[in-house]
Amino acid sequence: MARNTSLYFRVVEGRGLPAKDVSGTSDPYCIVKVDHEVVARTATVWKNLNPFWGEEYTLHLPMGFHTLSFYVMDEDTIGHDDVIGKISLSKEAIAAHPKGLDSWQNLTRVDPDEEVQGEIHLGLELQKEAQRTCIRCHVIQARDLAPRDISGTSDPFTRILYNNHSAETSIIKKTRFPHWGETLELWLDQGEEEVGGAVTLEVWDWDMVGKNDFLGKVEIPFSSLLRSPLMQGWFRLLPLGNAEDDAGGKLGGLRLKVRLAEERILPSLFYQPLIDLLVEPVISPVEDPSTLTLLEEVTMVESRQDVAMTLVKIYLGQGLVVPFLDYLNTREVNHTSDPNTLFRSNSLASKAMEQFMKAVGMLYLHEVLKPIINRIFEEKKYIELDPCKIDMNRCRRISFKGSASEVEVRESSVGLLQAYLSSIMEAIAGSVAQCPPVMRVVFKQLHKRVEEQFPDSHHEDVKYLAISGFFFLRFFAPAILTPKLFHLRDHHADTRISRTLLLLAKALQSVGNLGLQLGHGKEQWMAPLHPIILRSVASVKDFLDKLIDVDHDSVSEVPQRAVFLPSVTVKEGFLQKYKAEGPQLLKRFAFKKRYFWLSSETLSYGKTPDWQLRSSIPVPCICAVERVDENAFQLQNVMQVVTQDNEGQLRTMYLQCKNVNELNQWLSAIRKASIYNERMLPSFHPGASRSAKWTCCLQADRAAPGCSRTHSAVTLGDWSDPLDPDAEAQIIYKQLLQGREKLRSVCVCVCVCFYANAVLHLFIFHLSLHSLSTRSSDRCSFDVGTCT
């Protein structure tokens, strides 16, 4: 039984941060770590003690985790960044809030003795001889220890302690992955055994000058040794356990939103009855009620978006996403009498259409919008139309004519917005061929259903509004407003650019509404854009007519394990590639700039984006994608892609990214592409093989097994997640289980044979899950007698 763990967190804002700069302010940013591995870095908010970030992330962690930590740093142009404080949340603390944690947390001081990480491999044995007892400890190795020296490594040794007795291993210098292979013995005289005591193993970093640095400890109760005289395995290193000091709130605080979703995933056969129930009304449409209407009935409004995304993925995997959306849309249209309210609610149909566009249309969105969004960020123009918000200090310019007037600012803003909007509309109008065929077919069927429901001539625009409402108002406009949430940019826009994006999004919404509401709102200062909006409406209708001019047979409705076609590029960009062949240069100069493309079939690269001659690595040959220690090349943000050829020979390609966020994105993308590979390695070397030894564990054998565990399934959650039918079915099952009381009441009120049959299937499905699941939270039952 597999475990599926997902961690959602959002760094909202900070308040009351201390000033670290001589100017009396700070330049704060956050680093987020899961078990001491950096998974995200927020943008820097310059000169602000109450910063707003609003950055959110999702992590898939199949192996689980122990601690989620947030470090607030002050960025410095010269020298090292200052640490302001941190917040640590244990997995247990997060799990104690099933609906998520949303609160202010005080920052605590960073104590070096609490910043421990890694594991140690031990064999502990208790032997009694005559009048004496021997505690024999075989210290084998350790991995992923905290770096305490300026070189990014440590000089670790281990000490065993019990009842005033101690012994130490030798010191192994310059490594975070030491191999000792030593045996330590503690001889106890009669009467020195304390059943309530504990055997302590401490790991320290040796320093020639000053005191040694603490790296972690393991405590094993003596009573456990009495019960089991031989213990062996990997033990997680723990901190000293000092109480965290929040300094009375003097370090400020963070507002965080954190939620943990943890599921036990069973074999596919146990989910098949539920899948059959979901598929049945789509294949053979029936009158209400159906399984999908039942699911919508028991789903809370705040959970509807997650349920919609899960259903979209299930039907994508079944090859039935087009009839699924057609079923929901037809039901929504048929139950709407006023065309002005069509798809205006947060119904399952509306949410499913939104999530469907994100799942299959994100690459299309990037192709259309990214050049224009990048241009807006690069130009950083000051744009404002609202007279009440024009700030002359922001737009002041020096010239022979003096400062710009308010009228000139508005005229300049109108011209810039018209140029940006024209570029966006031209890009959209010319993108019919790039739009995924499955999206076009779904819009075609929606157009047909709306036309059938509202055939009158005075409702001529309704069929266009139904499509443009999704395409412009719920897809393109939100992407323009918040490009980071749609992965168009790595960071949120600053105040100036945010205002430009907001005005553009408003204009595009008016275009999507076909200009029907122009002049009726409070924002009369948008009037200078009305002419270009009205001119764009005609091109929108022409675009939508071309968009739905598609053959239904062009969509391949076959079950698949990925959202995109194998040849589609899911990620691309410049990376620095390590030149392993030829004359060896200095380490930091051995990396050359190359442009990389990733699809589900190949990882290829060339000198430039237009370079015709490319080198390619087949994705099925990838067997590990991992980080590289900073001390391997004296460079940050380096990763490695390990491949295996047909002869079993391992080869490693080292790549450097611009920052930690780009590093995590590439790690996640390549891991997702290779997630079903059969030859994934269980361990790897986080260093590099140089000077006849590995820089990480100091082993001389280049073919030596890896000294650290791989993280092949640890990925960032986003629109490119591979389809996982079992995990998706488990989410739907859990949703039904949470709404079981409401399900019973519905079944009592509606005496329909279908319902009795559906609930009976769910009851059998629940018994199958209950027989294998060990979690007490799932221990509830459906009362079949109540439902019949």
Domains and CATH numbers, the chain: 2-108+254-263 (2.60.40.150), 119-236 (2.60.40.150), 354-554 (1.10.506.10), 571-716 (2.30.29.30), 733-787 (no CATH)
Q: State the pLDDT at residue 600.
A: 87
Q: State the pLDDT at residue 226.
A: 83
Q: State the pLDDT at residue 464.
A: 92
Across the range 117-130, mean pLDDT stands at 89
pLDDT tens, 302-330?
788 889 999 999 999 888 999 999 999 99
What confidence category does residue 667 fall into, taking pLDDT thresholds of 50, 70 and 90?
A: very high
What confidence category does residue 374 fall into, taking pLDDT thresholds of 50, 70 and 90?
A: very high
Query: Residue 562 pLDDT > 60, yes or no?
Result: no
Query: Residue 765 pLDDT > 80, yes or no?
Result: no
DSSP state of 278: H
Q: State the pLDDT at residue 170.
A: 95
End-to-end distance of the chain based on CA atoms, in angstroms?
A: 33
Least confident of 19-33, 139-153, 371-385, 574-588: 574-588
Across the range 264-278, mean pLDDT stands at 87
Q: State the pLDDT at residue 767.
A: 45
Least confident of 491-500, 558-567, 632-641: 558-567
Query: Residue 536 pLDDT > 80, yes or no?
Result: yes
pLDDT tens, 41-87?
998 998 999 999 989 999 998 777 899 999 999 999 888 899 999 99
Q: State the pLDDT at residue 48.
A: 92
Across the range 731-751, mean pLDDT stands at 71
What is the secondary structure of 667-703 as a DSSP string?
A: HHHHHHHTTT-S---SEE-SS-EETTEETTT--S-TT
Query: Residue 620 pLDDT > 80, yes or no?
Result: yes
DSSP state of 525: G
Work out the angle at residue 389's Cα, subtended by the Cα atoms of residues 388 and 390, and round it to the nearest 5 degrees: 105
Residue 217 β-bridge partners: 202, 238
What confidence category does residue 287 fall into, taking pLDDT thresholds of 50, 70 and 90?
A: low
Query: Residue 404 pLDDT > 90, yes or no?
Result: no
- Rg of the chain's alpha carbons, rounded to an integer? 30
DSSP-derived 3-state class of residue 740: helix
What confidence category does residue 755 fall into, taking pLDDT thresholds of 50, 70 and 90?
A: very low
Q: State the pLDDT at residue 93.
A: 93
Q: Mapped to the 3 state alphabet, what secondary structure does 589-644 carry?
A: HCEEEEEEEECCCEEEEECCCCCCCCEEEEHHHEEEEEECCHHHHCCCCEEEEEEE
| Residue bearing tokens 């009120």 | 749
Query: Residue 119 pLDDT > 50, yes or no?
Result: yes
Beta carbons of 619 and 603 less than 8 angstroms apart: yes
Q: State the pLDDT at residue 115.
A: 87
What are the CB-based long-range contacts (under 8 Å, 24+) for 734-738? 734/263, 735/295, 735/298, 735/299, 735/303, 735/307, 736/295, 736/298, 736/762, 737/766, 737/778, 737/780, 738/298
Query: Residue 569 pLDDT > 50, yes or no?
Result: yes
DSSP-derived 3-state class of residue 51: coil
Q: State the pLDDT at residue 517.
A: 73
Q: In the predicted model, what is the mean pLDDT of the chain?
A: 85
Q: State the pLDDT at residue 244.
A: 62
What is the secondary structure of 126-185 as a DSSP string?
A: EEEETTEEEEEEEEEEEESPPP-STTS---EEEEEEETTEEEE-----S-SS-EEEEEEE
pLDDT tens, 161-210?
998 899 999 999 999 999 999 999 998 887 777 767 889 999 999 998 88
How far is the CA of 438 from the CAs of 116, 347, 472, 473, in angstroms? 50, 22, 17, 20
Q: State the pLDDT at residue 130.
A: 76
pLDDT tens, 93-114?
999 998 899 999 999 998 887 8
d(CA 128, CA 483): 68
Query: Residue 391 pLDDT > 90, yes or no?
Result: no
Q: Report the percent of the chain where pLDDT is more than 70.
A: 87
d(CA 180, CA 171): 9
Determine which helix (DSSP H) or strand (DSSP E) holds 124, and give its type and residue range.
strand 119-129
Q: State the pLDDT at residue 719.
A: 77
Q: State the pLDDT at residue 783.
A: 36
Query: Residue 454 pLDDT > 60, yes or no?
Result: yes
Q: State the pLDDT at residue 294.
A: 82
Residue 392's closest CA among 408, 402, 406? 406
Query: Residue 295 pLDDT > 60, yes or no?
Result: yes
Burial grade of 337 (CB within 10 A; 0-12, 13-18, 19 or more): exposed
